[in-house]
Amino acid sequence: MTKKITTILFDLDGTLIDTNDLIITTYLHTLEKYYPSKYSREDVLPFMGPTLQEAFSTIDPDRVEEMILEYRTFNIANHDALVKEFAGVLETVELLKEKGYKLGIVTTKIHDTVLKGLRLTKLDRFFEVVVALDHVTKAKPDPEPIFKALEQLDATPEEAIMVGDNYHDILAGKNAGTKTAGCAWSIKGREYLAKYEPDYILENMADLLTILGE
């Protein structure tokens, strides 16, 4: 018999909060500065999910640090204007918290920016644990961030589910031994996520309640 799910880990960007426009605009701004007129919106979509280090390393390994600095400066300055909420997220997370589920966030973003997004969308009060990029040596899809979150939540992989909009999230969950749920509202599309065979695909965050039998 499978263990009852007690613990839900969420990715942040593109899963709980709609940062798609912010991330795309920031990448385009940064790349335009270094490589005028070379990159389009379609070119930066593969960078959604990986760390900035990974993304910029594929462009110019020698300028990674300065590009990251440019990215973060612009991103923070434009954060509140461009970040939006996804329908159904706040209500679902609030209900899960009320029902006593342990809730955590596992993200490839740095901690300060995570908190900024959570406060802006009023989600900060629901999460007792946030594992950000600056808390780990290896980012998703390595299982380290998930193991770290589970340890802090006093939970095992067998009783947890990882929810995300990108292949990093699904693979990290599989690597850690949790259940996995992909978000059909991923900017990369439902079919893209389905290729990584998550246990569930959510059409709306409220679908989680059905999966959990609430």
Q: What average pLDDT does range 169-180 have in this prediction?
A: 98
User: At CB < 8 A and 24+ separation, what contacts does 201-207 make?
Assistant: 202/163, 204/87, 204/88, 205/86, 205/88, 205/89, 205/92, 205/93, 206/88, 206/91, 206/92
Q: Are 186 and 166 in contact (CB under 8 A)?
A: yes
Confidence at 49, pLDDT banded by 50, 70, 90: confident
Q: From CA 36, how far away is CA 179, in angstroms rounded?
A: 43
The one-letter amino acid at 3: K
Residues 6+ apart with CB under 8 A from 160: 5, 6, 7, 8, 9, 146, 150, 176, 178, 179
Share of the chain above pLDDT 90, in %: 96
Q: From CA 69, how far away is CA 116, in angstroms rounded?
A: 18
- Residues labelled catalytic: 11
The one-letter amino acid at 207: D
- The gap between the terminal CA atoms of the chain, to the nearest Å, is 19
| pLDDT 10s digits, 61-104 | 999 999 999 999 999 999 999 999 999 999 999 999 999 999 99
Mean of pLDDT over the chain: 95
1, pLDDT greater than 60: no
What is residue 2's predicted lDDT score, i.e. its pLDDT?
60
Residue 141 structure tokens: 């899809």
Q: Is 49 left (phi over 0), alpha (psi -120 to 50) or beta?
A: left
| pLDDT 10s digits, 95-129 | 999 999 999 999 999 999 999 999 999 999 999 99
What is residue 24's predicted lDDT score, i.e. its pLDDT?
96
Angle between helices 20-34 and 64-82 (to 10 degrees): 140
* Residue 141, preceding peptide bond in cis (omega within 30° of 0): yes
What are the backbone dihedrals phi and psi of residue 133, each rounded to the nearest 5 degrees, phi first? -60, -35
| pLDDT 10s digits, 125-167 | 999 999 999 999 999 999 999 999 999 999 999 999 999 999 9
Q: Which helix (DSSP H) or strand (DSSP E) does residue 211 occupy?
A: helix 207-211
User: Can you list the domains of the chain with their CATH numbers?
Assistant: 7-18+84-211 (3.40.50.1000), 20-82 (1.10.150.240)
Query: What sign for the dihedral angle of Cα 25, 73, 134, 62?
Result: positive
